[in-house]
Chain A
Amino acid sequence: MKPSSTTLRTFTTVHTWVGLAAGFALFVAFYAGAITVFRDALPLWQSPHRLDRVQWLGDAQRLLDGVLERHPEARTHMGMLFPGGELPQSIAYWQDKTGVWQFATLDDLDGNAQRPFTELADLVNELHYSVGLPVAGTYLMGLVSLLYGVALFSGLLIHWPKLTKDLFALRPGRNLKQFWQDAHNVIGVLSLPFHILFAVTGVVLCLVFVFASALNPLVFDGKLMQALPAALDTAPQRPVANVPAAPRSLSFWYARSVEAARAQGLDAFEPAYLKLANAGDANAVVEVTGVSSRSLGPQGSIALAAASGDVLASQLPGHRDANHATLASAYALHFGDYGNAVVPWLYFLLGLGGAFLFYSGNLLWIESRRKRRQLQQSRAAISMGRATVGVCIGLCVAVSAAFVAAQVFEAAAPTHVDAGIRWTCFASWGACVAWAAVRSPAQAARELLWAAAAVTAAVAAAHGIVSGQWLWNGSASGVGIASFVDAIALAMSIAFAMLARATAYRMRHGDPNSIWASGGARR
């Protein structure tokens, strides 16, 4: 089937405008998302001295007992991380009387509204799912993901007639627009299955409750909300018995859930976190969630009666219902939490590739409006160049600056890490956008790329100075994870420097009739 030329024109327009509308936010989502793939490594990199001791279940038990004793609200419902999984140390969390989540560790049983150890990972994750905007940011990102789906559909349709012929065509040479177009197409086509996946699961994660509320009266006869707990949770709802009963120990629940998983044929079930409801009551329920390998949705959970240890219900890989199987797989597919150690790297590259897709989309818009026979370029092209450079390269600078700030504040003012990294990130991002607004696009691109290279190299340097762990001695001292963050930072710093040099070369030697030439961006 070959679409008519009118259809192609329509869809080119759709693709262009949907892409421009969503492209900036998607660049942020993909760049921050690529880093979020390695979210579990960031706490160890950020605060090795706070996490140097690996806790065992006895420590976690003392945390659990301490929290339940001090905080009556936690008895209704609380959760905690098992030590040694996501983090070496356990964290307990519950909602206080006003509904605000509180987090406690063994060193801080009173609790705090800021999740400990993960300030940096949380900031990058927030950039990923909300561009860092509170509340509305998540809805914005849901809308953006919806537009992203439309952009994928229209992009595929435009490219369809040439899809197979041009798949491996990457034509460097005099026609630079063709080269960028080829690069845009090949990355789009080869990662298309994952892009469809990210678009769909992205919308689901951001907007599922909006859609659920809309679909509830339309097709589910108003009974959707009653159906959701059974579809999403493992533990059945048990009424409070109002009879006190001593709960079993944490290590008993741990052993019991591993045993129950083995009974269902899962040899490697590693408990990651638990949810405890109505602690101290005879009908208290504990839900242990853990990870088993060899499943597309590796997370599964087992609900136990907290007092007796009887298995009440389970949703484990291979033995779960359609709702839990789909949910676990959708999560794992979005976050790359399945398969072996290659998958996170694949997702990291997909994230950077996606960021390139949106950056190159904006460049192609500028290039296709380029005035080929005159130095003076249109105002719209110059503004788009400035915005693209300021927002996109500025974000790269800002994320690296937040990493540097995390080390500085951990060393100098450990109680202000969260505020410090946020201010650094958004202030440096704003400064980059402002800088790009007053420079020509080409100058701004070159200077901000050099800034990104310098700040990203400083990520590894700051970590080395503060912790004494450098690339060459980090692995030897048993903190290989931290040095691998440094290694990625150095590799990216080199990449930014190479892009900066290429931009400078383009300014001097490229076609002068362009906003990317050294004299080409006069208003």
Chain B
Amino acid sequence: MWGRALAGALPGFFLAAALTGLLAWCAPGPWQDAVVPSLIFFVPTWMLILGGAFLFADARRAWGWLTAAAALAFALLGALKTLGWVL
């Protein structure tokens, strides 16, 4: 139980942060134009991940998948920024 809860809280936090970043940067216009909706988006996203982490069969899988997803999402965000495809 605690293992999956922590997976939602730690890698889950970073996954929610990266998804918030993707939403903020990929939305049309500079991210500054919709920073309030982006910040609000972070909250239900993290909540869903905190709850959804218990859908994994055990703590190892929860940590593995959520860490991988967070890393992937940050890599995607970083690539988009570096390539200059988003404002």
A and B held together in a complex: yes
> Is A153 on the interface with B (CB-CB < 8 A)?
yes
Among B31, B34, B51, contact of A150 (Cβ-Cβ < 8 Å): B51
- The chain A residue sitting closest to B33, CB to CB, is A322
- Interface size of A by CB at 8 A reads 39
Contact in complex: A150, B37 (CB < 8 Å): no
* A321, B32: Cα distance in complex, Å: 11
Contact in complex: B21, A227 (CB < 8 Å): no
Among B36, B39, B51, B81, contact of A215 (Cβ-Cβ < 8 Å): B39
> Is B20 on the interface with A (CB-CB < 8 A)?
yes
Contact in complex: B37, A218 (CB < 8 Å): no
Complex interface bits, A229-247 against B, C-beta within 8 A gives 1, otherwise 0: 0111000000000000000
* A364, B59: Cα distance in complex, Å: 29
Binds B, one of A55-63, A199-207, A371-379: A199-207
> Is B47 on the interface with A (CB-CB < 8 A)?
yes
> Is B50 on the interface with A (CB-CB < 8 A)?
yes
Contact in complex: A200, B40 (CB < 8 Å): yes
- The chain B residue sitting closest to A208, CB to CB, is B39
Known contacts A219-B18, A228-B35; decide if A150 and B42 are in contact (CB<8 Å). no
Contact in complex: B43, A220 (CB < 8 Å): no
> Is B54 on the interface with A (CB-CB < 8 A)?
yes
Known contacts A146-B50, A200-B40, A211-B39; decide if A7 and B33 are in contact (CB<8 Å). no
In the complex, chain A residues whose CB is within 8 Å of the CB of B7: none
- The chain B residue sitting closest to A11, CB to CB, is B54
> Is B84 on the interface with A (CB-CB < 8 A)?
no
* A203, B39: Cα distance in complex, Å: 11
Among B37, B48, B81, contact of A322 (Cβ-Cβ < 8 Å): B37
* A231, B40: Cα distance in complex, Å: 13
* A204, B20: Cα distance in complex, Å: 14
Considering the complex, which residues of chain A in the window 312-328 have a beta carbon less than 8 Å from any beta carbon of chain B? 321-324, 326-327
Contact in complex: A204, B43 (CB < 8 Å): yes
> Is B55 on the interface with A (CB-CB < 8 A)?
yes
Instruction: Report which residue of A196, A230, A231, A327 has the largest number of chain B beta carbons within 10 angstroms of its beta carbon.
Output: A231
Known contacts A14-B54, A150-B50, A153-B47; decide if A323 and B40 are in contact (CB<8 Å). no
* A230, B33: Cα distance in complex, Å: 9
> Can you list 30 pairs linking A and B with CB atoms under 8 Å apart?
A10-B1, A11-B54, A14-B54, A149-B47, A149-B50, A149-B51, A150-B47, A150-B51, A153-B47, A153-B48, A157-B51, A196-B44, A199-B47, A200-B43, A211-B43, A215-B17, A215-B20, A215-B21, A218-B17, A218-B18, A219-B18, A219-B20, A219-B24, A223-B32, A227-B31, A231-B36, A322-B33, A323-B33, A323-B37, A326-B40
Interface pairs A-B: 8 shortest CB-CB: A219-B21, A153-B51, A149-B47, A323-B36, A227-B32, A322-B34, A326-B37, A150-B51
Interface on A for B, CB 8 Å cutoff?
A: 7, 10-11, 13-14, 146, 149-150, 153-154, 157, 196, 199-200, 203-204, 208, 211-212, 214-215, 218-221, 223-224, 227-228, 230-232, 321-324, 326-327, 330
A212-B39, A231-B35 known; 8 new pairs, CB 8 Å cut-off, are A14-B51, A149-B47, A153-B52, A204-B40, A208-B39, A214-B13, A321-B33, A326-B34
